[in-house]
Amino acid sequence: MIIPIQEKQKTFQHNSTNFMAIVKPFKAIRPAKDKAALVASRSYQEYSKKERKGILSLNPFSFLHIITPGFKLNKKISSRELYKLVHETYLEFLKENILLKDAKDSFYLYQLEKENFTCCGIFCGTSVADYQNNVIKKHEDTLLAREELFANYLTIAGFNAEAVLMTYPDNDSVSSIIQHKKQEEPDCFFTTTDKVKHKIWMISDSETVKEIQEEFSKMNSIYIADGHHRSASSNLFALTTKENNHQHSGKEPYNYFMSYLIPESEIKIYEFNRTVKDLNGLTKEEFLIKLSEAFKIENKGSVLYKPSGKHHFSMYLDGEFYSLYLRKNKYSFTDALSKLDTQILFKIVLEPILGIRDLKNNDRIQYGYGKNNVIKMKDDIDNGKFKVGFSLVPITINEIKAIADAGLVMPPKSTYIEPKLRSGLMIYEL
């Protein structure tokens, strides 16, 4: 049984008050080299129902078989039954040597390369105590129901195949270790059907492992980029497991959770644009008048128009693009959150003018990302699906850090962050 978080918040503590980041090598479960490209899958949600069915029918090695083990069953099953099937299918993959467990505790250098984007980082175990003590910093809220759901999944499935994406300040020593290691032949190298190249190097020699740990031990903060619910759930799972383990030593696998750490300079952040279905009962003219109180507005016509910098927005309405420049004498910057464009848009437009107070659960608003999203936004509005759309520039890593350092929370859908990691590429056994 999962115990409420508030009852456990202080059960994991470092011995020192000067907290620094702890990273730990581990024995990963990985696909056999000849099957790596077939095993690794995108996130479950990224596939359409038709795509999933095709992969499950044609590729017996796909990790999707583990996370959707009941796809052949023509009945609904409980979460607990599903998680048991996940565990059993995972054991079958191990028995059939589709998945193999490494013999040595290692860090895993992983490079992802695709058109216009490359990153290289380290798979490792990160500390639950660091999460508790805010060495691992967050910038998003989490929902307790989702935390408990995934914590129960971890309890029954017995493994974690979804790394938390974290970022750390660029570090010359870590970079040097990475560049030196990349001169060697990869331990595993494959290309997936989306034309993404994947390379993995094992780092298991004690001297290099120690060097990496020492460099991270000098960092007083590392930042969650993507995976707030995964890290919160791992924390909840660890706290519950510790409470039920009367021989707890602090060395058990549950004291850590799998993360993928990349330097700040290699993370890619995209904006989420917003489209709204109506003007909240206002006419176009009334809406523009209300906007003009806080923005300098310029009609840009029908030609595609994007914002050029911070506090500058592009709006598409009734077949025309508009430039919206914030009138700074009409808005106060009080903290890091108030400076975010997503917060400005919410506080000045979405909430008071368009009546959207709950950004997570209001079906009048939709979010989109990607290089062609402005075109899609325009098409959706021209086709009558939505009435108005807003484009923003991407939030920066420094803005994310400022929010996290201040203990604040960004509005929902403020960032779309890459890399997006493959499931089943690296597995942390609990």
- pLDDT by residue for the chain (430 residues), tens only, comes to 333 334 344 344 443 356 799 999 999 999 999 999 999 998 888 888 899 889 999 999 999 999 988 666 666 788 899 999 999 999 999 999 999 999 999 999 999 999 889 999 999 999 999 999 999 999 998 989 999 999 999 999 999 999 999 999 999 999 999 999 999 999 999 999 889 999 999 999 999 999 999 999 999 999 999 999 999 999 999 999 999 999 999 999 999 999 999 999 999 999 999 999 999 999 999 999 999 999 999 999 999 999 999 999 999 999 999 999 999 888 999 999 999 999 999 999 999 999 999 998 899 999 998 777 899 999 999 999 999 999 999 999 999 999 999 999 999 999 999 999 999 999 999 9
Cα separation, 169 vs 172, whole angstroms: 10
Thinking of the domain 272-414, which architecture would CATH place it in?
2-Layer Sandwich (3.30)
Read off the tokens for 193. Answer: 């059907």
Q: Is 213 helix (H, G, I), strand (E, B) or coil?
A: helix
User: Residue 6: its pLDDT value, please?
Assistant: 40
- 299, exposed or middle or buried, with CB in 10 Å at 0-12, 13-18, 19+? exposed
Tokens linked to 338: 């108030």
Q: Please give the pLDDT value at position 343.
A: 96
Q: How many C-beta neighbours within 10 Å does residue 271 have? A: 24
Q: What is the pTM of this model?
A: 0.91
Tell me the Cα Rg of the chain: 23
Q: Quick count: other Cβ atoms within 10 Å of Cβ 210?
A: 11
Phi and psi of 274, rounded to 5°? -125, 135
Q: Where in the chain is the domain with CATH 3.30.1760?
A: 272-414
Alpha-carbon 236 to chain mean position: 18
Residue 349 DSSP symbol: I
What is the per-residue DSSP string for 187-212? SEEEE-TTS-EEEEEEE--HHHHHHH
